[in-house]
Structure 1
C-alpha cells in the first residue's frame, strides 16, 4: 500500500500526462537508441522533477509510468519542434519485447514502417539510423563515461527512424497511429540534453521526513513488502548539523545550500506553473528538505563522498545529477541503461 501522498501525486501525474504541453520538450540533436535492463521509470521521474529543483515526485519514480513521467516535465517554454524515435525490433537487442516476439525487423517491415511514418501529420523530416550509425553516435555522446562505453556493444543498440514534427503535433496520437505497424519495438518522445532543466546543484541530498516509507529513514514494511508497519522519522537538527559539518569538511564540495520545504515548493510552482492538475495535488508538506551541492570538478570521482552521504543518519536519498543526465539520455536516445552499480538515486 502506498502512502496517501504517493497515491494523490500518482493520480495527478496520470491525469496530467494527457494534457501536458509537449511543446516544452525540445528536439534531439542526434538520432539514436538504447537497450533497457533497469527501469527507466525511476530515471524519468527524477529527471522531470529533481533536475528542475522540484523534488516532490522523486519517490514516485520507482513505480511511475515511463511516458507519463517523461511528459510531465516543466512546461512554459517556447514551442519547439518535437523529436520522436521509432525503435525497430532487433533479435540481439529487443529481447522479449512483446511486439517483436523474438524476431528482428524484416526489410519489408522497414519499408512499411517508413511509409507509415511518412504519412504522419506534422512530419517535417524523417531519418533512418542503423545499428552501426547508432553505435558511433553513442560512443561520441558518452565519451566521458568509460564504464558505460565498456558495457555497451553494437548489438545492444537498435536501428530506428527519427521523426521531426511540427510544434503542436500530438505525440500520443503519432504513437497510436504507428504502434500497430509490425516490426516496431517502441516509439518514444525524446528530449535533448539542452531540454533537461538547468540546475546549480550537481548533487542533491534529500533528507528524511516524518511519515517516510523509505527504509533509510527507519520505515518498515510487512513481509509482503506492501503495507507499511512502521513509518520513518524526519531528520533531526543534530543529524542536519552532522551533514552540514561533513559537507564543509569535504575538499570536493565547492559550495552548498540548504533548501527548506517552502523554497522547494516555490521552485516547484515555478517549474510546473502550466500544469494545474499537478499543482493542485501538491502541497508544501510534500516537499522534502535537501542540501544542494556544487562540486569543484565536473569530471571528478565523487563515489566516496556519495557513499558517505548515503550512510548519514537523516539522509533519505542522494542524487547525482551528472549520472541522471547520462542515464536519461542513454535510455531516451539509445534504449541503453547504465551498467550495474552505477546507480543515480540510492538511499542509504
Structure 2
C-alpha cells in the first residue's frame, strides 16, 4: 500500500503545486451530511432535526471563525459550473445525488484534526474533509505532466507487478520492460513530449517536496520510490484510453491521468463524492 501512496504523492513531487501545499487558515473543513449513497448512513438523508442540531453545535464552537451552510441547489449549481466540460459526469450526477454541507473556517492555532473528529461523530454527518489534508487549495492540482506512468518497485504489492511478467514478477521493472514501455509511448498518438525519471531523481524530488513531513520521511527509502515516465499530451486526445493502454504493459505499476486526478479530487473535496467510477468522472477530452 505504501507504494500506491508514494506514487500518488509523486504525481506532485517536484512541481510548483507540491511546494504550495501547506496548512492555511483560509482552507475550509467541509462537513458533508448524510445521503442514501453515503457509507454508514443507512441509506438515509440527514434529517432536519440533525441539521439544526449540527448547526447549533458548530456555531457554538469557539475554535471556528465562520460557519456557512451549502444547500443542495447551491452545490449543484457550482457542480455544473466546475464540470461544465465533462458531459459524462454531468449526466451521471443529479442534484439529489450531492450532499448538503457545512463549511468551516478554523481559527489560527486550533488542532484541525481534533476539530474534524469532533464533528465527524455528530448524528447526520456522512463525511468530514479538511482541505489542508486532501487538497491544499480550492483550485485544481497543477502539474507540468499530463500522464504519469509509475513502474514496479521491488517487493511491490501492486497486482500488476506480481503477475504477467514471468521471472520479473515481484521485482523492480527490468531494462527490457522499460524499453518496451518507451517504445509504446513513442508510438502513442497524442503524446507531445515525455521524460524518464529515474529512482534517484524521483527520490530527490520527493524529499524536496515533503521535507517538512518528518513522519513520512522517516519511513520512506529511495527504493520505495518508483521510477516513472512523465508525458505531456495533446488536449484533444482521449487521455483515458491512453492511460488504460499503457497501464497494461508489463513493468507498469499504475498510471495517473492528471485530468482524471483533478476531477476526482475536486469531486471529493468540494462535493463529497468519492464513490463514482473513473468511467463516469474522467472526461476523455477537453
Which residue of structure 2 lines up, in the alignment, with residue 50 of structure 1? 10
Q: Is the 8 A contact 1:205 1:292 kept in 2?
A: yes
Shift, 1:175, TM fit = 2.2
Shift, 1:273, TM fit = 0.7
Cα deviation, 1:264-311, whole Å, max 9, x if unaligned, reads 1111111111111111111111111110011122x5312332232122
245, 250, 254: which one pairs with 1:313? 250
Q: Is the 8 A contact 1:253 1:293 kept in 2?
A: yes
CA pair 277-303 structure 1, distance change in 2 beyond 3 A: closer
- Structure 1, unpaired ranges of 5+: 1-5, 11-41, 55-72, 221-229
**Greater Cα offset, 194-203 or 335-344:** 335-344
Shift, 1:246, TM fit = 2.5
Which residue of structure 1 lines up, in the alignment, with residue 153 of structure 2? 209
Match status 1:82 vs 2:27: yes
Q: Is the 8 A contact 2:25 2:106 kept in 1?
A: no
Query: C-alpha separation between the residues in 1 aligned to 2:252 and 2:153?
Result: 9
Superposition TM-score, scaled by structure 1 size: 0.69
Q: Is the 8 A contact 1:128 1:160 kept in 2?
A: yes
Query: C-alpha separation between the residues in 2 aligned to 1:150 and 1:112?
Result: 34
Match status 1:153 vs 2:94: yes
Q: Is the 8 A contact 1:129 1:161 kept in 2?
A: yes
Shift, 1:82, TM fit = 2.8
- Structure 2, unpaired ranges of 5+: none
Query: C-alpha separation between the residues in 2 aligned to 1:205 and 1:47?
Result: 9
Which residue of structure 2 lines up, in the alignment, with residue 105 of structure 1? 46
Write out the 4+ residue segments of structure 1 that deviate beyond 3 Å after TM superposition: 45-48, 73-80, 100-103, 191-198, 337-344
Match status 1:177 vs 2:118: yes
**Greater Cα offset, 189-198 or 101-110:** 189-198
Which residue of structure 2 lines up, in the alignment, with residue 3 of structure 1? none
Which residue of structure 2 lines up, in the alignment, with residue 21 of structure 1? none
Query: C-alpha separation between the residues in 1 aligned to 2:141 and 2:279?
Result: 25
Q: How many residues align?
A: 272
Query: What does residue range 1-348 of structure 1 map to in structure 2 within 5 Å?
Result: 6=1, 45=5, 49-53=9-13, 77=22, 79-90=24-35, 92-94=36-38, 97=40, 100-190=41-131, 191=135, 194=138, 198-219=142-163, 231-297=169-235, 300-336=237-273, 337-339=275-277, 341=279
CA pair 195-267 structure 1, distance change in 2 beyond 3 A: farther
Query: C-alpha separation between the residues in 2 aligned to 1:80 and 1:47?
Result: 28
Q: Is the 8 A contact 1:93 1:157 kept in 2?
A: no
SS of match in other structure, 2:11: coil
Query: C-alpha separation between the residues in 2 aligned to 1:193 and 1:145?
Result: 21
CA pair 196-281 structure 1, distance change in 2 beyond 3 A: farther
Superposition TM-score, scaled by structure 2 size: 0.82
SS of match in other structure, 1:341: helix
Shift, 1:85, TM fit = 1.4
Query: C-alpha separation between the residues in 2 aligned to 1:48 and 1:165?
Result: 27
